[in-house]
A and B are shown apart, each in its own frame.
Chain A
Amino acid sequence: MIYFDLFIGFLEVGLFSFGGAYGAIPLIRDVVLSHGWLEDEALAYMIAVGESTPGPIMVNLATYVGRSQAGLPGALIATAAVVLPSFVIILLVMTLLRKVLENPYAQAVLRGLKPCVIGIVLATGVYMIVRNCGEDAGSVNAPAAAMTALLAGIHFGSRKLWKGGLSPVGLIVLSALFGIACYGWR
């Protein structure tokens, strides 16, 4: 039953998304790949769309995946599921469990979770970059590798030139222009 799968899948994402917007991306990737809802390619496109539209990325992705699998009801169910855990947890923290986050055992759990999320996000980024640059048999896709080096240089270099550097949306626009320049208009 697709509605049930969407609900449970995105509930899991909402419940384990520590570490901000990008902390949720490996989880969403797990869920959509294992159910065959999206391929890596489409997921990367939607991350870019989410980054260029308002609102949290994980809400954007839940809405998109829900709609693509089961229309408007699917979108509503997936979005509600991804929001529900943080909604309920904040209510619990405000009412019953005011002190729970200061509890030393809860702190110990968080001390383990946070670096683990960082490692997972780092691995996801590295894997995506490497896979973009490689072709099937492990040979290098030269234009993609050149674009990766150039974009990374601009992204990290721009921070040295002015405060904050190039914004994520700026980088996405630039990369779109590079893509067209490299692969042609038609």
Chain B
Amino acid sequence: MTAKSENPSGLSVLDRPNSYIGKTVPRPNLDRLMQGRGLYVSDVELPRMAHVVYLRSPHAHAKIVGIDASAAKRVKGVISVVTGQELAAVITPWVGVLSHMKGLKSAPQHAIAIDHVCWQGEAVAAIVATSRAVAEDAAELVAVDYRKLEAVTDMRTALDPETPVIHASLGDNLAFERHLDVGSVDQAFADSDEVVEADFVFGRHTGVTLEPRSVVADWNAAEARLTIYQGSQAPHMVQNIAALHLGLRDDQVRVLCKDVGGSFGIKVHIYADEMATYALSKLLRRPVKYVADRVESFNTDIHARDHGCKGRIGVNRDGTITAFEIDDLTGIGPYSMYPRTSAIEANQIVNLVGGSYTTKNYRARTRVVFQNKNVMCQYRGVGHPVACSITEGLVDLAAMKIGMDPVEIRRRNLVPDDAYPCSSPAGLKFELLSHHAAMNRLMAMMDYDALRAEQAELRKNNIHRGIGIASFIEITNPSAAFYGVGGAKISSQDGVAVRMDASGSVICQTSISEQGQGSESLTAQIVGSVLGVPMDRVRVILGDTDNTPYGGGTWASRGAGIGGEAAFQAAKVLRSNILDVAAAILQSTPAELDIVNHQIVNAGDGAVRIELSELARIVYFRPDTLPPGIQPELMATRHFVPRQYPFAFTNGVQASWLEVDTETGFVKLLRHWVVEDCGTIINPQLVDEQIRGGVVQGLGAALFEKCIYDERGQLTNANMADYLVPMSGEMPDIDVGHVVSPTAETELGAKGAGEAGTAGAAAAVANAVNDALAPFGAIITEIPLTPQIILTALGRI
């Protein structure tokens, strides 16, 4: 089911000649990345640049009794050794709370720990030297006297009275708690034919961006300006926060992001060691470079999704799901992350569970507790993967209980495609979704019945394959409802300034950012389409707070929907301005003219009237030849912010087809499918590739990834050999299809697509494994599904 958006201006991008909207075109400027000529932060070299290494606590919880850096300072090549106390004179601490997360509390966090370290890996001193190697040598000579404290490492007992409280000022280890009770849950369960319960366990994992977090901070004392080179998803947010805590004005800080080696949310947060690096540059009055090594990355990049959740589902024999209930517990780090808070993931889980279904009875509780482990915060998909795994896992359990096919039970309970607009029990407002159209599309793509037949046949030969289905909803294009309402200086709007220069080149400056998903391309495609110029005449500038409009950046799948709409509107204005000038030059009217292929043409017969480059020449160099009174304006800026819906929800459904070797517990992923409805698609290939990349991160979560902490709070697998990320040998091919339900809130109609793949992939795999093991009566509700776990569930070991 598709819907065309109403278009008052009469201009539909879909109708434009040579429109790039909906076209797969290669991204511009890939050559430099393919030739190794990109500019990642770790490539940046500045005069007198120094390197910083952070000495990190080996203990999960300890008092810092004293630090003796005298031997370290004597090492040749060491410029300075700085403690938390010393750095506090330059940079103020922060607290990661937002007022709309009621009751969320957290303790102040310093750029470098003072007195008290709260996780293994927290920085306790900075060693600045002429090279990373020398700084590491000197770090070994810094003597820190720690008094070990008992570590809080089990979220299940974090709130027990006997468990030490990590921050005495907070009174307990509870960061946040939320309750939701909608409808008549107890009555619904009591009246149900069946009630099924399960305990869901999710492995803590992390982003493992191939380029580690890297910063070059350059304080120029003479200009009183700080330039920060950083691969941040939200450059203006970094500008604002760096200025705030360093006692500067925003305009004294410039944030530059050129090429970023992967982020997925990892690089959207504010990290203590990065703040310390800014402060060190200011303190030492020279550029300072910090590049996390891989071990540091595992220990300090945000972790995510460490949840244990009890789930219940009520179902009647006719397949009607009567109620959902969850009781979720998550153990974050010792601080709520700044500024987006570590309560968002849990909050989203409460909001999203059951959200695809018509079920009106829903009760939820979540508790977020502090632990002496690495900090935790938003990572691709945020709460969606956990919410989807719980919901879809429960739905499959309900189906199993009443002997119904898992697709059939979903067909009977997914919100109908003609029910919109509507709201979920948790209060989510849906404009237009397409659960059933997506499911139909999926069934056709995967030939569901044929796979079921194949499964049955192979079972006779003791070969166990499974099919897993996962339906999901996805938050995109967030309004200020996400962060702004809570007091965070995180912009929910974005802006694009577009101009035509003297030779007819089009230059766009956009406030969204690029980490490889195609922000530059979508901007050029939109502007080129609206203006009527080829993409190769459009240059996009992003990732520079000095040279772009103010905006939120790229995160929460908002770049295309929000930044794209700003580009669309700005290009419309520029087009109109160009036609005004053209009409004056040609003694015509704007309505009789159009711009096609970089030329002004008659709207009627398409005859070429004047080249755009010629028009530009006249505007910039020969305005004396223009009719009197005209002041040409070949530059336009427009911002866009979602006003009507707090989020533009998308929906999709995924399926996994896999084989379990029941003798060894090994899982082979045979194929994966995704049907996604993200509204208007600007570049089909880029959208599909976002989905594929997202799916594989979810497959990693399903089978491989887990940060393994011991009871002392030591991260025991902080390296690439022991933390298992998905590699090419084990991943399946992924088929992607689409339904298109544009949002009417924008002319473009685009919603987001960046996180959808991750939202449902693990749920689909988990359901497929349980489906494969159904003959054995084994049900597993824990990920990652390692061979050990599967063999144990099968009773083989």
Partners in one complex: no
